[in-house]
Amino acid sequence: MTQSTPTAIPRLTRRRAAALYEDDEGAATAEYAVATMAAIVEIGQT
């Protein structure tokens, strides 16, 4: 069995953070999914 060396995680600088969190396109999809699941659970409880 071979041992792998741990992968270094790059430092989170302001520039990297801005690039990562600048696009919130997926947030609307996630909110829609959460609201849909909540509605399904609510319907199932009545």
What are the structure tokens assigned to 35, written together? 């609201």
Task: Write down the pLDDT at residue 21.
Answer: 79
pTM of the model: 0.43
Indicate the average pLDDT of the chain.
83
Task: Write down the pLDDT at residue 29.
Answer: 84
For 24-46, write each residue's pLDDT tens digit. Answer: 777 788 889 999 999 999 998 76
User: What is the rounded radius of gyration, in angstroms, for the C-alpha atoms of the chain?
Assistant: 20
- Asked whether 10 and 16 are in contact (CB, 8 A), the reply is yes
Between CA 9 and CA 20 the distance in angstroms is: 14
| Angle at 39 (CA atoms; ends 45, 31), nearest 5 degrees | 145
Residue 12 above 80 pLDDT?
yes
